[in-house]
């Protein structure tokens, strides 16, 4: 039996009629950038996240960097200020920081949850620290209570990287509504995926929302008036229309992801694998189901031979990338060990029960570790 890691075709085929009707609606409207579809999606996504504002952007990386850029314009941040970021995140979290003239300060995650370890965050704060950027990695909320407490005591801003966690919630509060601002990605493979690139900033701060909305559009609120040096990073009308369709199914998809994760966790019997731990069922949106294994590469080969596609998120941590030579000297043993051990099993709302059962059986049959 073949189990794909993720089939975008299958995901979107479920809504093909509605998606095609939405594209036709935009074509017929004749307005393709900054129009009614975007305005409607921004209202709907803000309501979903429970924030006053959502501002669409061209992608998730720009959503992150536009918040930091806006804070610089607002005088909250200056060149060289430090941003605390989990060391085991996707490179985009780091790129948004360095692109804005700020310094990424990588901090180790809690290996049980893969998210920022609040105790280590406190130890990494210096007089130049201005922002904490928790990443809800693999779909699980970071410990936002503890991080908000630290940020409050030190007067720091909190920017959530929520690119993997649409719909994850704690105490009825959803990802995107915990920090001073949050950034989402709608890259096709994300839990809420467009059929192209897309992103959004969510916030309750009226001024910040207005700055981001201007900065994404050449730094302009009024056509041909440019008080700031902005960029061009807008969520186009067709992608906004796609996302309006898919937002209506997000909670159903998340429920299916949770059911698959529950079956993996209950069914896999493999002493050589550490299964992901969850603080609370609602707090995980299961963008990825990531296990740890000391024989990771052998496990991946074994699963591939059994027809099960897996991936590694991520093979090389940002501080070891050639893009960041200034970080090569850092020793981050928790992160480095995680990058050697993590393996992502197939996870998609379209996986069948038979496919899930096959993944479970093949994981349990892995012999190398026994």
Ligand X SMILES: *Cc1c(COP(=O)(O)O)cnc(C)c1O
Length of the chain (residues): 370
Binding span for ligand X by CB under 6 A among 45-53, 89-97, 220-228, 229-237: 89-97
Binding span for ligand X by CB under 6 A among 3-11, 84-92, 138-146, 228-236: 84-92
b/e code 236-266 from CB counts within 10 Å (16+ = b): bbbbbbbbbbbbebbeebbebbbebbebbee
Helix (H, G, I), strand (E, B) or coil at 208: helix
What is the Cα–Cα distance from 36 to 56, expressed in whole angstroms?
12
Q: How far is the CB of 89 from ligand X (least distance, A)?
A: 6
Nearer to ligand X, 94 or 366 (CB): 94
> Which residues are the active-site residues?
190
Nearer to ligand X, 240 or 362 (CB): 240
Rule CB under 6 A: is residue 140 a binding residue for ligand X?
A: no
Binding span for ligand X by CB under 6 A among 86-94, 203-211, 221-229, 241-249: 86-94
Using an 8 Å Cβ cutoff, are 165 and 141 in contact?
yes
Rule CB under 6 A: is residue 318 a binding residue for ligand X?
A: no
Rule CB under 6 A: is residue 199 a binding residue for ligand X?
A: yes
Binding span for ligand X by CB under 6 A among 22-30, 88-96, 293-301, 354-362: 88-96
Rule CB under 6 A: is residue 161 a binding residue for ligand X?
A: yes
Nearer to ligand X, 115 or 164 (CB): 164
Q: How far is the CB of 199 from ligand X (least distance, A)?
A: 5
What is the Cα–Cα distance from 176 to 162, expressed in whole angstroms?
6
Exposed/middle/buried for residue 2 (C-beta within 10 Å: 0-12, 13-18, 19+): exposed
x/- site string to ligand X, residues 97 to 136, per CB under 6 A?
A: --------------------------------------x-
Nearer to ligand X, 64 or 299 (CB): 64
Nearer to ligand X, 163 or 181 (CB): 163
Read off the tokens for 3: 């189990």
Read off the tokens for 43: 């209202």
DSSP string, 102-157: -EEEEEPBPTTTSSB-HHHHHHH--TTEEEE--B-GGGBPP-HHHHHHHHHHHT-E
Q: With CA atoms as reference, report the closest residue to 297 among 275, 309, 317, 312.
A: 312
Rule CB under 6 A: is residue 289 a binding residue for ligand X?
A: no
Rule CB under 6 A: is residue 67 a binding residue for ligand X?
A: no
Nearer to ligand X, 203 or 355 (CB): 203
Rule CB under 6 A: is residue 185 a binding residue for ligand X?
A: yes
Read off the tokens for 273: 């694998």
Rule CB under 6 A: is residue 93 a binding residue for ligand X?
A: yes
Using an 8 Å Cβ cutoff, are 232 and 218 in contact?
yes
Q: Which of 41, 48, 90, 286 contacts ligand X by CB under 6 A? A: 90
What is the Cα–Cα distance from 57 to 217, expressed in whole angstroms?
9
Footprint of ligand X (CB under 6 A): 59-61, 89-90, 92-93, 135, 161, 163-164, 185, 187, 197, 199
């Amino acid at each position: 039996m073949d189990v794909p890691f993720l089939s975008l075709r299958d995901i979107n085929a479920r809504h093909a009629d509605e998606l095609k009707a939405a594209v036709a609606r935009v074509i017929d409207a004749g307005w393709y950038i900054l129009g009614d579809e975007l305005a409607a999606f921004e209202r709907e996504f803000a309501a979903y996240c429970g924030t006053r504002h959502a501002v669409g952007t061209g992608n998730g990386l720009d959503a992150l960097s536009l918040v930091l850029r806006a804070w610089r314009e607002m005088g909250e941040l200056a060149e060289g200020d430090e941003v605390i970021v989990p060391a085991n995140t996707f490179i985009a979290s780091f790129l948004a920081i360095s692109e804005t003239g700020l310094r990424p300060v990588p901090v180790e995650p809690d290996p049980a949850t893969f998210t920022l370890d609040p105790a280590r965050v406190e130890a990494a704060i210096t007089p130049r620290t201005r922002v904490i950027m928790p990443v809800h990695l693999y779909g699980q909320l970071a410990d936002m209570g503890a991080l908000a407490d630290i940020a409050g005591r030190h007067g720091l801003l909190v920017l959530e990287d929520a690119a993997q966690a649409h719909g994850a919630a704690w105490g009825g509060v959803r990802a995107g509504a915990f920090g001073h601002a949050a950034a989402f990605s709608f890259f096709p493979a994300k839990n809420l995926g467009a059929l192209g690139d897309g992103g959004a900033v969510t916030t309750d701060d009226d001024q910040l929302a207005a700055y981001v909305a201007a900065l994404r559009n050449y730094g302009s609120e009024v056509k041909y008036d440019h008080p700031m040096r902005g960029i061009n990073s807008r969520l186009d009308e067709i992608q906004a229309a796609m996302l309006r369709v898919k937002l209506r199914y997000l909670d159903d998809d998340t429920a299916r992801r949770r059911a698959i994760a529950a079956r993996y966790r209950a069914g896999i019997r493999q002493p050589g694998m550490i299964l992901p731990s969850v603080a609370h069922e609602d707090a995980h949106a299961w963008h990825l189901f990531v296990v740890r294994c000391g024989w990771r590469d052998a496990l991946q080969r074994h699963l591939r031979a059994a027809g099960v596609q897996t991936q590694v998120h991520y093979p090389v941590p940002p501080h070891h990338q050639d893009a960041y030579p200034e970080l090569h000297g850092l020793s981050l043993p928790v992160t480095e060990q995680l990058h050697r051990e993590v393996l992502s099993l197939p996870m998609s709302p379209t996986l069948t029960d038979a496919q899930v059962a096959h993944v479970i059986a093949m994981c349990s049959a892995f012999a190398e570790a026994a």
